[in-house]
Structure 1
Amino acid sequence: MADDTVPRSEADSTASVLTLAAIDIAPLRALLAAHALDLVVVADGEPIPGSYWGEPEAGLIGHRVYVRGDTPVHSALHEACHLIVQPPERRAAVHTDATDSVAEEDATCYLQIVFAAALPGVGSERLMRDMDAWGYTYRLGSTRAWFERDADDAREWLVERALLPV
């Protein structure tokens, strides 16, 4: 098996995260399809359309999530969840930047952690560690602490919209 990590940046080569090349993407593709989203894999070295943060981060255009093998799993899930938390009529207009509010951003982060549990070889624990390594920041100091002790508002937002898996 090929190395399953990619450095966060040249400035922090010790931080590594799980990439799409290291997992079977079929379950991710099925998860997105269940929410009327398409996962589009671009060739290694090719630009990722709609990437807000730049490559290797996932990109968004309409109902499509663009990724490469070196795209971090957390990035693919995060961008997909941005689309999932939006009403379908807003999805068509999305190009690169999908955030509408702090509440949507929090719901997106919460949902990506929940969805990671359903992906073989990923899991919520690994995803939260990768989110920390990549630079997500929360008041309580870690993604796990936020998810377990400070995310009630995000969970409620998702429940009100029937977006949490049963």
Structure 2
Amino acid sequence: MKQFLEGEAATVAAGEKLGAIAAPGSVWFLEGDLGAGKTTFCRGFLRAFGHSGAVKSPTYTLVEPYELARGLIYHFDLYRLGDPEELEYMGIRDYFSDNSICLIEWPQRGVGVLPVPDIRVRIETSGAGRSLQLTSATARGEQMIKRVQAD
């Protein structure tokens, strides 16, 4: 599934729409260049769960937890990760459960340690806006994409 997003508001809206169909236990990889809109997308995703505060990229802390009425979301930013092994030291596997959703920016920095994502979200700048592409890697991911296409 691919769509064009005209500006920041459209990126937030796309994140909110996808957050609304996100299944508990799902893993989302957020891919794209620096400044492409991954954190902006996360802001909308978290809005779907009732979060109204600021959303900053956890570049230095690696993970920002959000305990919300609809569930627990972990927002990871692996941009500054030196080695995927560092994820093992922080207990990365404990974050992935049937009760949480994990949003992971810069997942390529965690290759070999991270689980297979349910959905890959690729965001790229495109003219005055952004292009967003969703691909699924699991049956759960395929079901979520079907739900969003049905809306």
Which TM-score applies when normalising by structure 1? 0.27
Tell me which protein shows more helix as a share of its residues: 1
Which TM-score applies when normalising by structure 2? 0.29
Which protein has greater RCO, CA pairs closer than 8 Å, 6+ apart? 2
